[in-house]
Structure 1
Amino acid sequence: MKKRHLTLPLLLIFVLVLSACGNGKFKADTDWKVEPFEYTNQNNEKVSLDSLKGKPWLGMFIFTRCTTVCPPMTMNMTDIQKSFQDKGLEDYKIVGFSVDPEVDKPQVLNKYLNSYPVPDSSKWEFLTGYSQDEIADFALKSFKTLVKDNPADDQVIHGTSFFLVDQNGVVVKNYSGAQDVPFDTIAVDMETIIEDGK
């Protein structure tokens, strides 16, 4: 009899702990408001902060002539999208800002995107249509990340983080995008933020 009395309170405690862990509430690490923008995507369509609102998105800074970090970053993002698909996630976007806008015209970005095994290209917005100075200023103010032209060659210095932006256009988390990418964490965070927004 005593054993049964002891088991019930322990079971109740276990259930309470589990329910506290699984409440699905997203915990933000940052609170950086993305400045309003309207740029052009790889399909020559206008994309703005307003048009993205209502869905969370993963942002990154890349360019097509990049010989170092951009190819692995883009491949990592395709793998992240596969993990989103595995979870059945639909209400999200992936946004890449070109840091080499003079070269990265819409058709160039389109060709670049098509060179990767992207599971669903309709979720991707590769953006251009601004000056080098504009994107450097935008990256610093909205994402606290560096974009700097390198006069010595055709490469652009830029950060390698992936940024999770919520449904209201606020950067709530950032992750390593080139190496040691936390694929599972990103997928769980995206799932949680989508659920919280319903």
Structure 2
Amino acid sequence: MKKLMGIAVIALVLFLAACGDSSIEDFSHTDQRGEEITLESLKGTPWLATFVFTNCTTVCPPMTFNMVSIQEALLEQGIEEYKIVAFSVDPGTDKPAVLADYLGKFNVPDESKWHLLTGYSQDYIAEYAKDNFKSFVKNDPSSNQVVHGTSFYLIDKNGEVAHNYDGYSDVPVEEIVEDLKVLIDK
């Protein structure tokens, strides 16, 4: 049964990824520093986006570690014009202080680039992920975990999804760095 559920989730994620346009809808959320972050405040700078939650016992810690590795590669290349945005898929638990503590567990080279977002409902983020990133977010009814996609998204200066990548395994760090360079130069 679990295997069949997993196959159904993967099929749904692939289906959703093939649908829709690439523009991100406006948002206004609170980050781990208690600052308001909006789509408008991010415009003019490319950004990497993903979905995580702090009490995740499976994919989120490796995904966050992978994002740190991307940031390290960006720093090695001298690239500074970017942001990293992680939408919490468990906003009821993930208050700003909890998100700050979570990020503090990773050896983040430049925390000022990171915005871990919260301040919305579970239903909101499930719809927002589906509508804007074609990503799946759903509470697991048998645990305190949230099932969600594991992609990283590269958003251009205008707030449109330019690329998406596997954020969990076989993360194409060099490709992401090169794609980000292109977006900075546009």
TM-score by length of 1: 0.83
* 1:177 pairs with 2:167: yes
Segments of 5+ residues of structure 2 without an aligned counterpart are 1-19
Q: 1:137 aligns with which of 124, 127, 142?
A: 127
Aligned alpha-carbon RMSD (Å): 0.9
Q: Does 1:77 align with 2:67?
A: yes
* Map of 1:94 onto structure 2: 84
Is it true that 1:166 corresponds to 2:156 in the alignment?
A: yes
Match of 1:32 in 2: 22
What are structure 1's unaligned runs of at least 5 residues?
Answer: 1-29
Deviation of 1:192 after TM superposition, in Å, equals 1.3
Mapping of residues 58-77 of structure 1, within 5 Å:
58-77=48-67
Q: 1:53-99 deviations in whole A, cap 9, x for unaligned?
A: 00000000000000000000000000000000011111100000000
The sequence identity of aligned pairs, in percent, is: 54
CA-CA distance at 1:127 after TM superposition? 0.1
The Cα offsets for residues 22-59 of structure 1, whole Å up to 9 and x where unpaired, read as xxxxxxxx951111100000001100000000000000
The 3-state SS of whatever aligns with 1:164 is strand
2:31, 2:38 → 1: CA distance? 10
CA distance in 2, matches of 1:163, 1:69: 16
Q: Contact 1:69 / 1:178 at 8 angstroms: preserved in 2? A: yes
Match of 1:16 in 2: none
Alignment of 1:121-160 (within 5 A): 121-160=111-150
Whether 2:94 is the aligned partner of 1:104: answer yes
Give the alignment partner of residue 54 of structure 1, picking from 44, 60, 77. 44
Query: 2:179 aligns to what?
Result: 189
Structure with max Cα Rg? 1
Amino acid at match of 1:139: A
- When the two structures are superposed, what TM-score results if normalisation uses the length of structure 2? 0.88
8 Å CA contact 1:31–1:172 kept in 2: the answer is: no
Paired residues in the alignment total 167
